[in-house]
Amino acid sequence: MIDFLSLKRANAPHEPAINAAIARVLDSGWYILGKECEQFERAFADYCGVAHCVSVANGLDAIELVLRAYGVGPADEVIVPAQTFIATWLAVSHVGATPVPVEPDPRTYNIDPARIASAITSRTRAIIPVHLYGQPADMGPIRTLASERGLHVIEDAAQAHGAQYKGVRAGGLGDAAAFSFYPGKNLGALGDGGAITTDDTALADTLRSLRNYGSTVKYKHDLRGVNSRLDELQAAMLSEKLRALDVENAARARVAARYLEGLRDTPFQLPHVLADTEPVWHLFVLRTRERARLAEHLRANGVGHMIHYPTPCHQQVAYADSEWPALPLCERIHDEVISIPMVPYLVGHEIDAVISALRSFGGAR
C-alpha cells in the first residue's frame, strides 16, 4: 500500500532537529512573537528574495490581512481563480469584498491571464493569482495588466514554497504574497502557520500591527487588528525545516520526472510545465474522463489518491447565495482531475508501483 501522504514519514528525517527546536523554545520561556519568529521571518524573506516576511497564524489570515492592509472592503471586487482551494475566495469574502472568478488555462489549471481583462470593472481592486499544485501562475501578463489598471497583485503561494517564474521565487512575484505552513504543504509546520512576504515596507509595518491587535507598542492600539501570530514553537520548527526545503523540492522534482517519463504514452493528461518556470510539485495531478473507474483501480492496486478539488468554490453551499458566471472549464476540470502520491520520500520501487498501477488501467481519455 502506498499512502497518498504520510506526514509521520515526511517528518521523520527532521525528528532530531524538531526535538532540538522544541527544547530550545521550552527553555527560552518565551512563546509568542520572540526571537524564533524573528529569525524565521528573516530566513524566509531571504529565501524568497524579498525585504520582508510577516508571519501569521495561517494561510487564510495571510491573504485576508493583506486585503485589509490595502483597504479592500465592501463594494470592492477581487479577481480570483475559479479553480483554487476555497481559502482564496473566503479571504476576499471575509473583508466584505466580492470574489470575481476567472476560468483556468486548461493546460496548467492556473488562472488564464487572457481572460482576466474582461473580468475587471471599476470596482476591481486586486488580482489574486494562485500557484496551484506548485506550478507558478503566468505572472508576466498578470502584472502588466495589473499595473495598467492600477490593481494590487497578491500571490496565493500556499502551494508554491520555492517555485520559480523566470528565475524569481514565489513570494517575490507580486506586490505581496501569502503562504501557508499547514502540515501537508511543501514547507509544513506541526500545526497551523502562515506568512506574508513583500518588498513594501509600509505594508509590512501595517501587517505587523494588524496581526497583533493593531498594536506595535504594548497596550497602544492604532488599528482594530486581530490575533493572528505564528507561535515560537512553530517558527523554530519551520526554521529547521526551511534548511531542507530545496533538497525536498528537488526530490519531488525527481519523482515528477519519473512519473512524466513513465506515463508519457498513456491516455492521461499529464501536468504541463510552463516555459521558464520551475514548479515545486506540491501535487501531481492527472486528468481523465474516467476518473471514478481510475480511482477504483488505484484503490484495488493499493495506490493512495485524492481529488483536488471535488467541488468548485462557486458550487459550494457557502457560496450558494450568489449568482456566478458560467464556469464550464473549471467545472469540467473538477470532474476529471485526480492526484497521485507526490512526496519527497518516495523511493524507486514505490514510484514504479504507482506508474505500473496507472499503466495497467485499461481506459481511454
Quick one: 58 or 277, whose CB is closer to ligand PLP?
A: 58
Q: Phi/psi class of residue 337: alpha, beta or left (left: φ > 0; alpha: ψ in -120 to 50)?
A: beta
Quick one: 233 or 294, whose CB is closer to ligand PLP?
A: 233
The three-class DSSP label of residue 31 is coil
Smallest distance from the beta carbon of 184 to ligand PLP, in angstroms?
8
d(CA 361, CA 214): 56
Torsion of CA 271, 277, 279, 285, to 10 degrees: -10
Quick one: 263 or 313, whose CB is closer to ligand PLP?
A: 313
Smallest distance from the beta carbon of 63 to ligand PLP, in angstroms?
7
Smallest distance from the beta carbon of 20 to ligand PLP, in angstroms?
25
d(CA 177, CA 63): 8
Smallest distance from the beta carbon of 161 to ligand PLP, in angstroms?
11
When CB distances to ligand PLP are compared, the closest residue is 59
3-class secondary structure per residue, 229-271: CCEHHHHHHHHHHHCCHHHHHHHHHHHHHHHHHHCCCCCCECC
Quick one: 180 or 234, whose CB is closer to ligand PLP?
A: 180
Smallest distance from the beta carbon of 174 to ligand PLP, in angstroms?
14
Quick one: 182 or 281, whose CB is closer to ligand PLP?
A: 182
Partnered with residue 34 across adjacent β-strands are none
For residues 358 and 339, is the Cβ–Cβ distance under 8 A?
A: no
Residues 6+ apart with CB under 8 A from 58: 180, 182, 192, 193, 194, 228
Smallest distance from the beta carbon of 139 to ligand PLP, in angstroms?
15
Smallest distance from the beta carbon of 54 to ligand PLP, in angstroms?
15
Q: At how many degrees (to 10) do helices 35-48 and 232-242 cross?
A: 40
Smallest distance from the beta carbon of 55 to ligand PLP, in angstroms?
12
Quick one: 177 or 294, whose CB is closer to ligand PLP?
A: 177
Quick one: 47 or 357, whose CB is closer to ligand PLP?
A: 47
Characterize 187-210 residue by residue with b for buried, 16 or more Cβ atoms within 10 angstroms of its Cβ, and e for exposed. Answer: bbbbebbbbbbbebeebbebbbbb
For residues 288 and 365, is the Cβ–Cβ distance under 8 A?
A: yes
Q: Phi/psi class of residue 302: alpha, beta or left (left: φ > 0; alpha: ψ in -120 to 50)?
A: left
The residues of the shown chain that bind ligand PLP, judged by CB under 6 A, are 58-60, 84-85, 87-88, 130, 156, 158-159, 180, 182, 192, 194
d(CA 92, CA 68): 9
Quick one: 126 or 357, whose CB is closer to ligand PLP?
A: 126
